[in-house]
Structure 1
Amino acid sequence: MYYVELHKSHLEYLAPIRHWDNLKLAFEGERAFIKDFTPLQINDVVLLQIPHIIVYELKEQLLFRKDKLVPTKKLPSALLWMPILNALPIDLPKYNMNYFGIHDKIDIKIVKSEAEQKPYGVITKLENVKGYIETLPQVRLQNLKWIIIEDSILFLGTPLLPIKGQTYWLKDNCLFPTGYALEFDVLFPIIKKQLNPNNDSMLLFQNNNSYLSIPLSDCKPLSLSSFRLTVNE
């Protein structure tokens, strides 16, 4: 049987596993213990990315750090176990996001990722595609949306057009450069809630840790007529 331990002050980081309703949680002083993980859950990347946790395996009432041969301590006795849904608050903590390192604010960092990501968007200069788009049949454009951002165009959908530009992958209305991801994916629900509370925008993240909020209503279906009308204005 596996256990997870962390300090009570870090309980908010358990938000991504709160829906694992088979788990039980108990407190001992300022420490919290969680048990009843399945073999899949204890090795799930969602759990392992949670900051400040310690994973133990229980053997003869002794807690061994995962894959260690020497016990760390005894399992505390008389713990009052409760479903994790009852132990954790529903509301996530409120953070003030920004990118300038001001005290009490989280830095959002985009880092290189080895995970395979399917491109969903591509951004390129208008001059690179103006002549090309007008040569395509409408059937090739019917699954795509687009939006002009200054002197560039963002195309969204699959299959993408084979054009030169920066590609992006999609996660819950957030676009990340292909080959990059959030440094701590476990914070994604918190970041998204703060930056896009109404879920009515698409967040375009750049690998320089900046982002652009694009109203979903501004992303229009791509057609030859709408393209010609817009670019020739």
Structure 2
Amino acid sequence: MENWVLVFKKSDLPHLAAVRCWPGLYAAETETEVWLRCPLLHADLDQPLRALPAMHTYRQDAQGLLFPLSGSTPVSKLPALDWLPMQQFIPIELPGSALPAQLTQQYALRLLPSMEYHSGAALKLKLDDWQTYADTAPEIRLSALRFALSAAGDVLVMGEPLPPLPGEEYWLRESILLPAAYDLEWPLLAQLFNQQENSKGMHFLLFEKDGNWQKIEKQCFVPATRAGIRQRNIKS
């Protein structure tokens, strides 16, 4: 089986966040470079990967030999590196942001207790509790759910109905996930805030009760399957 192998400058690391959720993608680093390795896919999926600002792009054969894209003679061999799954190489943290969420420099969004009921859209819980539930839950319940795993070992589950497990529940407003029984001090600002911080609609904005917030890429959520949940528990 052939792989793509791409070599980047370390300064180009932020560009790689665009593909951190790709299946089968591994990364490693040297003192000056970042290396990516990924199975060859069909053209529609390969194109975004090849569009990254790589210094070198190779095809790797089963013996680890590296070939230029348009050549049949190997030019190097894959070095022995400490490869990590991409989601571990570029981890994502769910629990909170170091800075308060702000619409402008003069106004910080605040959360206040709300008397209005909103149905839950997401549940943050521990990975062990999530796997225990998944081992026995009916397939029809799991098929309605998606989840994302943080480097800290927390899981954010989305879907309906949410699993009946202990954790922190959130409801959804304008791609903003707010803690259950809380709302923005000025709810009308939700749309403006979402437009400013999430203009392309590619993220959920997860708020905590203290007003801290974190962006989570929507593409990081994967279907809830027993095999997928078990695999992520092993990797963590």
Q: 1:100 to 1:124 in 2, by over 3 A?
A: closer
CA distance in 2, matches of 1:216, 1:182: 22
Which structure 2 residues correspond to residues 30-45 of structure 1 after superposition, within 5 A?
none
Residues 153-189 of structure 1, C-alpha deviations (whole Å, 9 max, x = no match): 1110101100000101111211101100100012112
Which structure 2 residues correspond to residues 142-161 of structure 1 after superposition, within 5 A?
142-149=143-150, 150-161=152-163
Partner of 2:55: none
Partner of 2:229: 227
Q: Does residue 182 of the first structure (1) align with residue 184 of the second (2)?
A: yes
Deviation at 1:115, TM superposition (A): 0.8
Identity, % of aligned positions: 24
Amino acid at match of 1:128: D
Aligned residues: 135
CA distance in 2, matches of 1:186, 1:100: 15
Residues 192-214 of structure 1, C-alpha deviations (whole Å, 9 max, x = no match): 11111111101111111011100
Aligned equivalent of 2:216, options 189, 202, 214: 214
The answer to which of 189-198 and 215-224 deviates more is 189-198
Residues 4-45 of structure 1, C-alpha deviations (whole Å, 9 max, x = no match): xxxxxxxxxxxxxxxxxxxxxxxxxxxxxxxxxxxxxxxxxx
Runs of 5+ in structure 2 lacking a partner? 1-98
Moved over 6 A (4+): none
SS at match of 2:194: helix
Aligned equivalent of 1:171, options 170, 173, 179: 173
Partner of 1:205: 207
Which structure 2 residues correspond to residues 68-147 of structure 1 after superposition, within 5 A?
99=100, 104-147=105-148
Please report the TM-score for the alignment, with normalisation by the length of structure 1.
0.55
RMSD over aligned CA atoms reads 1.8
Which one has a bigger Cα radius of gyration? 1
CA distance in 1, matches of 2:230, 2:105: 48
